[in-house]
A = this chain, B = another copy of it.
Amino acid sequence: MKQYLKHHEWQIIEEGFDPHLNRISESVFSLGNGRMGQRANFEETYTGDTHQGTYVAGIYYPDKTRVGWWKNGYPEYFAKVLNAPSWIGIGFNFEGQELDLAKAKVEKFERVLDMKQGLLTRSFTATLADGKKVSVQAQRFCSMADGEVGAIRYALTPINFSGTVKIKLSVDADVVNKDSNYDEKFWDRVYEESQMGWAVVNAQTKKTQFQVCTAMEYKIELGGERIGGKVFTNNREKYADNVVELSLVGGKELVVYKYAVVLSSENHPKDKLVKHCLGKVGEVCKKGFAALLHDHAAKWEHTWKDCDVAIEGDIAAQQGIRFNIFQLMQTYTGEDARLNIGPKGFTGEKYGGSTYWDTEAYCLPFYLSTTNPDVARNLLIYRYKHLPLAIANAKKLGFTDGAAFYPFVTMNGEECHNEWEITFEEIHRTSAMAYAMRDYIEYTEDKNYWVDYGLEVLIGISRFWAQRVNWSSDKNKYVILGVTGPNEYENNVNNNWYTNYLGAWTLRFTCQAIDFVKKNSPEKYQALVTQLNFNENSETKKWKDISDKMYYPEDKSRGVYLQQDGFLDKELMAANDLRPEDRPLNQKWSWDRILRSCFIKQADVLQCMYLFEDDFTLDQIKRNFDFYEPMTVHESSLSPCVHVILASKLGYQEKAYEMYLRTSRLDLDDYNNDTEDGCHITSMAGTWMSVVKGFGGMRVRKNQLHFSPFIPDQWKSYSFRVEFRGRVLKVKVTKTKTEVVLESGEPLEIVLDGKPLSL
């Protein structure tokens, strides 16, 4: 844990330059706009420790898998987010002296991320080895108004000298992935050109053959006047630049505006990429920094209007929640159903940047409540598009007849993970797709989603479950053997209660969807029956039988469900009774010891109670929470939010707040010492859920929005906005009361603290 960032309501502020913290700051101060992203690397040369990262959404590389012991069924490759061509480079050379903060004396260093308008500002003065002193203010943003545009304003003032400067403005596709399995470079050259005033590089990924074309144009002002200078153009394989030579005058500010356009072959024909890119970068440059920033900031203003959470009386918490919302919003905008939310977003390359069940289980509720329903719908459609590959995945593992098994990690729909206990056995994720559908439909009432896309997916998933269960003649029940539940500190267990529950629920939910589609769109239903070779009678009969006769492990004496068969054979103890030197377990204990211990990585039985809260009595939830919570070590960033929500419901307000603190500033305070690899984007949605569903008690029940808020002792007030079926509601909770205001849309009846309230 490190706590070096200044607290501020709307800004993230780093004061002073500590090279050891640089990778962390590079993650925290990352920028993105849903289409592209950039770690907070320096524009100028930096020879110190850095993790360079430029990313373009949807562009990946299937890196050959590295595996110790191959198991039948493993995928051949692991699709990775690629480090893409860098467009930020602006180097300065003063008569042989390079501006390089690793070699200069750095003073007044400050990095400020203004979350309100999505602008990163870095300022410092640097004294070079030969005594030359410059002061710099560099600003940049990735435009939310146009996802293909990035802009930089780099202002430099020579403090104590005049003389010649060479400014190198580059576009560089000769980049590497830190996590490349075989130290391979992933980009091939296609084209590079540099002419006076601009440079362009078009590069193509190996194997996947995506092309990304990156162009830059620039303008330079000296003392407020446009200046040309002497321009040298260079290009070599995968690289192009302009070097501008001009004379500086002591005390006179030099401002470099660099504009970048990044186009991908996912959105433009390959043969037009260079042309489009050069045309667009010209327009962008003409429009200029101020106008671009204006459009960008306006977009952020609009975004914040719907999604802000304001906390009074706790500036650290305020900063934390806004940072989480900011990162989520710049990672995924929901405009493109081919995209999704990688665990590190655009802030790093770890975990391959691919899609996990995090999206459905944690991110969907956030986007459902903070943006228009199309965004959440696009997240569902993303998986719909992957259905054929989910069916192929199931087939590879021996399932038949169109059973669909969604991958644990994916970029294009194919499975990328290769750990049998996860890849093959953490099967609950395939039903996260079904649950997301329920979540979406409950929230939006858009049952037509079943007709358009949903039922087809559900039939595939249900076919999977129907084959994955087996009849135990010993138990006289259906059982599900050999699984890993959400708690990945148990592998290959039998009858994980969460998995069994979710599987049986999916079968019932699918039948419900069938009834709806059959009734409301009989032609579509008939088309599906034919297309899927669906035998409603026999298949649903089997599904009902399974869901009726599913086995659920439980301990009747304690009144708790058992995480899995045999759970009570373990030595039960509380995580608090562990020696501090044993934590975190995943760094201190060998895997077998973790597995046979009772300790729980992340909510498992409790995850189910969270998802299906209304299926259980308060007493049931309490008993299970009281049993499992003390054994939970929360060594996944996805864990605490579920505990916040349940603890809030149970009135365990202190516990709820304690858990909340573990999530809200996870990256800002580098809680797990891993922020240097990137921020925990998907778990940030959990922080939002902690406030809105946890403290705010927001639920949708039977078509009605419910709230039952409490306020942590440490806070004066908090407020949040949610979108719900065309309305925007603002909820403000103080020590004494809760205000719910309908800010826009038709009148609505909600339930506040169990009582109806008309808005």
A contact set with B: CB distance below 8 Å: 65-69, 71-73, 396-398, 418-421, 424-425, 470-475, 479, 481-482, 491-495, 565-566, 568-571, 586-593, 595-596
Contact = CB atoms under 8 A, between A and B. Distances in A.
A570 B478 CA distance: 10
B419 A69 contact: yes
Given A66-B66, A474-B569, A72 B591 contact: yes
Nearest to A419: B69
B72 A492 contact: no
A474 B568 contact: yes
Most chain B beta carbons < 10 A, residue from A69, A473, A589: A69
Most chain B beta carbons < 10 A, residue from A396, A566, A568, A586: A566
B72 A570 contact: no
A72 B586 contact: yes
A591 B481 contact: no
A481 B590 contact: no
A589 B72 contact: yes
A569 B477 CA distance: 9
Given A72-B591, A472-B570, A491-B492, 14 more contacts: A67-B67, A68-B68, A68-B418, A73-B590, A73-B591, A73-B592, A398-B589, A398-B593, A420-B590, A470-B596, A474-B568, A482-B595, A494-B569, A565-B569
A590 B494 contact: no
B472 A591 contact: no
A475 B565 CA distance: 13
A751 B491 CA distance: 50
B397 A593 contact: yes
Contact of A568 (B425, B472, B586, B589): B472
Contact of A570 (B425, B481, B596): B481
Contact of A68 (B66, B481, B491): B66
Contacts of A482: 592, 595-596
Nearest to A182: B182
A421 B396 CA distance: 23
Given A482-B595, A593-B398, A566 B492 contact: no
Contacts of A590: 71-73, 396-398, 420, 424
A568 B491 CA distance: 19
B420 A591 contact: yes
A68 to B, nearest CB: 4
Nearest to A595: B482
Contacts of A472: 568-570
Contacts of A492: 421, 491-493, 595
